Structure formats: structure tokens, C-alpha cells
Amino acid sequence: MNGLRFLSTGRCVPARIVTNDDMSRIVDTSDEWIRTRTGIAQRYLSGDGETAVDLCVGAARQAMDRAGISPEDLAVCVVATCSPDHAAPSNACLVQAAMGLPENIPCFDLNAGCTGFLYGLETVRGFLTISEKKYALLIGGEQLSRVMDMTDRSTCVLFGDGAGAAVLTLEEGRLWHADLGSRGNAEVLWVNGPGPGPCTIHMDGPGVYRFAVEALPTCAKTLMAKSGLTLDQVDWIIPHQANRRIIETASRRLHAPIEKFYQNMERYGNTSAASIPIALDEMNEQGLLQPGQTVMCIGFGAGLTWGGALFQW
């Protein structure tokens, strides 16, 4: 099997940090209430005039610069998002224009909720198998502040804005296993629109929790079965950064040490499709990811979707 190799990563977040204390001045909440239930201490929220495409371009430029490749070498550009600037054109097409990407490649958005980046990995892997070009640009980018109801304390304290990007290529014989799925559910987590009225996030918190604590360990076990590896042979598990309680529950159900699960929701909140690529870039920058390590990424989100990828860094 030809597996994906990460050549580089990048991330971009707004300049404005909004702490839990800041949120308590907007809605009836407190730092203690948010931290104990979610593990979140702050999030980045966009300022006036800042767009989702701005965040995507910032992350993509960083990843492309680090990869050291020309835009002409790209086979495809995909943006995973559930909060694009427009229903059409796609954020990917606007990234294409801003970065001067070639016109003879597919550029499109993909929406699988918070699982989007993992759906995107399998999508670009498919394009690379049929393209004469060697590289793919995959971005997970969200501007969730555009769809947050700031009067709903059960949701507005959870989410943040940001983008993460990766430049990828295929390598023969490289470790790669994936698992993707969807339950076809529109009642637990959804964003209404486009259409008349405001587009806002709606969420059944307990329903999301029940789904996530089932989906995360089940997906991990599926990847283990496909690969023939054990969790002891996995160096890092990088889950979607939705809620610390979900990750702790998954850790117990998998009988895996919590230290194996990378977490950064304290600093970013839930950035949906951006959360896993932001985490990968942060880990890469800190030297936590070393060549040859075995990495498992798992996401879950609206749909209800789930996805996982097991690969070699």
C-alpha cells in the first residue's frame, strides 16, 4: 500500500485571544465552569475584517514554505471546513487565487464536520494515486465565531477559530491505514443554513458525548485490527480536540495511558476540522513528532461522522 508522508505542516490563528474570564463577561459562565467541563481555558476568535480564507492562506503558506516546493508541483488543494466564507465559491478556490496555485488542478472544500481533515487525507491520497504531480495541499480551516450564538453558553464557550495545513506525498510501502464512517444524524450537532435567518451552531451536548466516547475507542480498535499493531506500538494518539472528558474516557476504555493522547484544547478550544492539523503542527514544531514514530489521529463530528488514520511520521 502507498501511504501518505507529511512533508510539512503549518498553522494560523487570529491574533485575538479570548479567555474564559472574557467569556464570563459576555454570557453567564465562569472560568471554573468551562475548565472543569471541557478543559478549555482560552480560544482565538477572529477580529473585524478577518476571514476564514485568511486563516487558511496563513497556514498553507507556512506549510508550503517549509516543504520547499513550488505551487506548480501540487496535484490538488482541499480545504476541510464547515464554516466557509461563502456557500460558493469554495474556500479552496479562494486559497488558490490568493496563493497563485496552478489552474489545472482540482480545488474544493470538503465538509465532514470535525472529522473533515481525516476525510481529506483519504481524499488527497486518492488524487495522488492518479496524478502525475507528487504533492497535495490539505487544509483544515474554521471560522466558527461566524456561526456561534453568543447567548448560548452551552456552545459559545467551546469553539475557536484557526487553520492547520499539511503538504503530503505518496510513498510506496509506507504504513497507512484509515477508517471512515458516518451515522447520518442531523439531530445531535448541526449548523443551519445557508438560507434565511442566522447560521448558528446547535448541539445536544450529552448526545455528542455519548457518540464520541463510543466512536473514538471503536475507531482506534479498528485501526489496530487493520494494521496488526497494538496500542503499545503507537507513539502518539492525536484526537479531535473537543473535550478533555471525552479523551480521558476514551483513554480508560482503551486501557491506554493518558500521556499518549496529545491535548491542546486548553489553548485553542474546539476548532473543528482545524484541530488535528493544528495539533500536528504544534507537535512538529516542538519536536514531539520524530521520523519513524507511529501516529494515530482520530476525529468525530457532525454527521455523525468519525474517522481515523494510522501512519508513520
The alpha-carbon radius of gyration of the chain (Å, integer) is 18
* 114 counts as catalytic: yes
- 207 near 303, Cβ under 8 Å? no
Give dist(CA 59, CA 278) in Å, integer. 9
Determine which of 14-23, 104-113, 144-153, 251-260 has the lowest per-residue pLDDT on average.
144-153
pLDDT at residue 191, rounded to an integer = 83
pLDDT at residue 208, rounded to an integer = 87
Determine which of 28-37, 166-175, 183-192, 297-306 has the lowest per-residue pLDDT on average.
183-192
Domain boundaries, the chain: 2-172, 176-312
Catalytic residue among 12, 56, 93, 114: 114
pLDDT tens track for 263-294: 999 999 999 999 999 999 999 999 999 999 99
Question: Considering Cα of 147, then 34, then 284, then 114, what sign does the dihedral take?
Answer: negative
pLDDT tens track for 211-262: 899 999 999 999 999 999 999 999 999 999 999 999 999 999 999 999 999 9
* 185 counts as catalytic: no
Q: Do domains 2-172 and 176-312 have the same CATH topology?
A: yes
* Whether the model pTM is above 0.85: yes
- What is the mean pLDDT of the segment spanning 38-46? 96
- Put the strands of the sheet holding 294-301 in their side by side order: 176-185, 303-312, 294-301, 236-239
- 312 near 3, Cβ under 8 Å? yes
Distances (CA, A) of 214 to 76, 180, 199, 202, 303: 33, 14, 29, 21, 15
* 270 counts as catalytic: yes
Catalytic residue among 107, 177, 240, 243: 240
Q: Is the pLDDT of residue 197 over 80?
A: no
pLDDT at residue 168, rounded to an integer = 98
pLDDT at residue 185, rounded to an integer = 82
Tell me which of 153 and 197 has the higher pLDDT. Answer: 153
Catalytic residue among 156, 270, 284, 297: 270
pLDDT at residue 195, rounded to an integer = 57
Give dist(CA 134, CA 270) in Å, integer. 32
pLDDT at residue 10, rounded to an integer = 98
Which of the listed CATH numbers 3.40.47.10, 2.40.50.140, 3.40.190.10, 2.30.31.70 matches domain 2-172?
Answer: 3.40.47.10
176-312 adopts what CATH topology?
Answer: Peroxisomal Thiolase; Chain A, domain 1 (3.40.47)
Give dist(CA 87, CA 83) in Å, integer. 9
Q: Give, rounded to a whole angstrom, the gap between the first and last alpha carbons of the chain.
A: 16
pLDDT tens track for 58-108: 999 999 999 999 999 999 999 999 999 898 999 999 999 999 999 999 999
